[in-house]
Amino acid sequence: MLLKIIAFVLPLGLDTFALAIALGLRGFRPLRPAVIFSIFEGVMPLFGIALAQEVSPRFETAAVVAGGVILLGVAVHAIRGALRGEEEAKQVSFRSLRSTFIAGFAISTDELASGFPLGASKLPVGIVLTAIVVQTFVFAALGVTIGNRVRSDMALSASRYAGIAAGVAFALVGLWLIVGRMIVQ
């Protein structure tokens, strides 16, 4: 079970890390993005989890496979974002309550999408959400700090590779869910 939890949480952390490095390049301080991202990334999966827990008992195999397909879509989105580079970070602002809400929502769309496969996988929700919040805080603070301290080209490369790694990890977890369910059934 620990391996499954890590498999779900690590790609989310890598995606956060990629954006956080780019935010560090823009001169952000680590605490605000880390706190805001942790709140949003801890709450957003609840919507998908609730839906999956409603659907899964009746359509368990279909729900798990759909969750895997959703993660494949998240993978494509993460890799595209990584290849586009700093564009996503340029749109992030914490100047007003509205812009903070938009930034929090924007960074947590992956968590929203990942909530359904999490709920369908029947992992312990409290433990998974706690792991997501902790890793988000750590990866966001670390990424912003690295972005503040290293050369621009090195930080952009690290951000890009972290985003690509997140996409690959999302794809592997998605395939794991799909193949695992098809083989078991």
Q: What is the mean pLDDT of residues 36-43?
A: 90
> pLDDT: is 85 or 118 the higher one?
118
For the segment 2-8, the average pLDDT, to the nearest whole number, is 85
81: pLDDT confidence band, cut at 50, 70 and 90? confident
7-34 confidence digits (pLDDT tens): 888 888 888 888 888 888 888 888 988 9
User: Do the Cβ atoms of 99 and 46 come closer than 8 Å?
Assistant: no
Give Cβ neighbours of residue 135 (< 8 Å, ≥ 6 apart). Answer: 9, 10, 12, 13, 16
Average pLDDT of the residues in 68-90: 78
Give pLDDT, residue 136: 93
Largest alpha-carbon pair distance within the chain? 53
At residue 133, the pLDDT reads 94
Structure tokens at 70: 């959703």
* Buried-state track 95-125, b at ≥16 Cβ within 10 A, e below 16: eeeeebeebbeebbebbbbbbbbbbbbebeb
pLDDT of residue 38: 93
pLDDT tens readout for residues 106-156:
777 777 778 878 877 778 889 999 999 999 999 999 999 998 888 777 877
Residue 93 CA to residue 89 CA, distance in Å, equals 9
Q: Can you read off the two tokens belonging to residue 39?
A: 């709140």
Structural domain range at position 51: 2-184
- Compute the mean pLDDT over every residue in the chain, rounded to the nearest whole number: 83
Domain count within the chain = 1
Q: Residue 143 in contact with residue 29, Cβ under 8 Å?
A: no
* 163 close to 15: Cβ distance less than 8 angstroms: yes
